[in-house]
Chains A and B, each alone.
Chain A
């Protein structure tokens, strides 16, 4: 047996090539890293959708292109909403980290963040419904299919983020700012800022580069 050949080491003990003792894992210690891994995999979903848009984004099927369809002032307003919401979420986190933080103050900043997020979603839905009314729905051309898929997936993420945010507002109202709730708020913080990073890609590649032609 190979194990027996190892027994004749200098101090007479068999060498160990793995750790024998169980690690002590404090609750939630690896949550942030795990959530970051999730965000990175989410990043790959968006990378694929961006690649789709890059490939199909010029196939207008004889229909209208970005220059005719997109309204940049509306997109700029949308970008501002998301950027403001990122800042106010930052304020919520700063309020939470202060010693003796009041639940009400954190809830207040979260609600402001949620309202900016809601405004973003409403503007996006308004834009989508306008496009569909003009006959430029996702079925019109490969360009519009990939556009609706990419921007829609981002919008879906914001929607889920909003549901999560409302849940946490209620949650901290009921159970206060305990360790578990702080951890949840930090996860949502990463998720929310991550969505803003994705939006930078969307407004640059889809809207600005699209209108530029």
Chain B
């Protein structure tokens, strides 16, 4: 798989486009999964889903610890899905799909962090005076 992709980039611009057609198994040059890969991905996903649900439903740990574990497991599970189900590699399609993914992740981080940050401060600083006073007296 990676040999094909290396071949594509080594060829430069002359035949790069043609190579997509006779990539891995004769179609589209996209990587494919194996039964083992899908099963590993599925098992990991089940574990990474069951643990956060169990933690929140039983409430065994305190709030902050649970939140950190839940968010961490979600992040890991996203990577598991990307690797085992979407067959994401850094070399698929000559690296372009990975580049697009990186760009998207950057935009998402800016969008989410920016929105939460700005709106939090808006809420804190632009509250109507009466409510702000009432809250400061509490």
Give the interface size class of chain B: 35 or more
Query: Which chain A residues border B103 with CB–CB below 8 Å?
Result: 40
Q: Known interface pairs A26-B18, A90-B38, A94-B35. Does A32 touch B30 (Cβ–Cβ under 8 Å)?
A: yes
Q: Known interface pairs A43-B108, A54-B112, A72-B57. Does A212 touch B70 (Cβ–Cβ under 8 Å)?
A: yes
How many residue pairs at the A-B interface have CB separations less than 8 Å? Answer: 136
Residues of B contacting A: mostly: helix
Query: Which chain A residues border B111 with CB–CB below 8 Å?
Result: 44, 47-48, 51
Q: Would B85 and A204 count as touching, CB distance under 8 A? A: no
Query: Which chain A residue has the least Cβ–Cβ distance from B48?
Result: A200
Complex: how many Å from CA A81 to CA B125?
Answer: 44
Query: Which chain A residues border B38 with CB–CB below 8 Å?
Result: 87, 90-91, 94
Residues 170-213 of A at the B interface (beta carbon under 8 Å): 179, 182-183, 186, 190, 193-194, 196-197, 200-201, 203-205, 208-209, 211-213
Interface residue total, chain A, C-beta cutoff 8 A:
56
In the assembled complex, 19 residue pairs joining A and B whose CB atoms fall closer than 8 Å, in A order, are: A25-B17, A29-B21, A29-B28, A33-B97, A40-B100, A55-B116, A72-B56, A76-B49, A90-B33, A90-B85, A94-B35, A97-B32, A179-B27, A183-B28, A196-B85, A204-B52, A205-B74, A208-B52, A209-B67
